[in-house]
Amino acid sequence: MRLTKNKKFRFFLLLVFLVFSYHFWIFSKVLWFIKFNPKSSAFMENSLDEMQEKNTRAELKHTWISYEKISQNIKKAVIAAEDAKFLSHEGFDWDAIQTAFEKNLKKGRIVAGGSTISQQLAKNLFLSKSRNPLRKIEEAIITFMIEKMMAKRRILEIYLNIIEWGEGIFGIEAASQYYFRQSSSNIDAFQAATLAAIIPNPVYFQSRINSTRIKRKTGILLFRMKSARPPE
């Protein structure tokens, strides 16, 4: 059945309204997170669902810790590993994006991302792990909101508290307790660099944290951490 022009127009208006409503909801959540800590994230909920398919009693390991209590070592290590220009960019590192594009083009598959901490926060909080173009556009819109509304310190605080560090392990405090049996307030530079090294694929490296690959990357990060500057 063919739609009349009037019905097409009404359908278009409905679509616009739904898109606007969705983004207004996202924007309201971003505003809320300026002052209030997120209790969960899209990635956390997805991980819990997957874990409970295997074990209905499965639970996530996650404990929020305030920014000032997190070791400077982990702040420096994560910035050195994930986003060296964190303090200077406005959400997107175009040089890193171009470099990642060239690497992926050369390999013929996705081997590098080029995402900033702000982009990763947008993805972790609200989106799925899908790499489709529509999701990347959505990620860009949310990243813009986050950068415009939140201070860099708050962005890094939420990021460190919600990202995945292993199967069911979310946030730096749970990661520090799991891997080193101590609070993230006390981890040293080597431990911080090790944790930062596994961020790109934490579930895979969870059982390979002492591998040659991670040790090599840890050494590189220890050097880079000397010039990393986290927000005060």
Question: Which CATH number belongs to the domain containing residue 147 in this structure?
Answer: 1.10.3810.10
What's the number of domains the chain is made of? Answer: 1
pTM of the predicted model as reported, rounded to 2 decimal places? 0.89
In a domain, 62, yes or no: yes
Q: Is residue 205 part of a domain?
A: yes
Distances (CA, A) of 215 to 71, 74, 112, 137, 219: 21, 16, 20, 35, 6
Name which residue leads in pLDDT, 12 or 188: 188
**pLDDT range class, residue 111, cuts 50, 70, 90:** very low
In a domain? residue 20? no
Residue 22 counted as domain residue: no
pLDDT band per the 50, 70, 90 thresholds, residue 109: very low
- Does 194 map to a domain? yes
Question: Residues of the chain with pLDDT > 90: what percent?
Answer: 75
| Structural domain contains residue 12 | no
Q: Which domain holds residue 125?
A: 38-227
* Mean pLDDT across 2-12: 70
| Mean pLDDT of the residues in the chain | 90
Mean pLDDT of 119-131: 89
Alpha carbon distances (Å) from 144 to 80, 89, 93, 229? 22, 11, 13, 22
Residue 123 placed within a domain:
yes
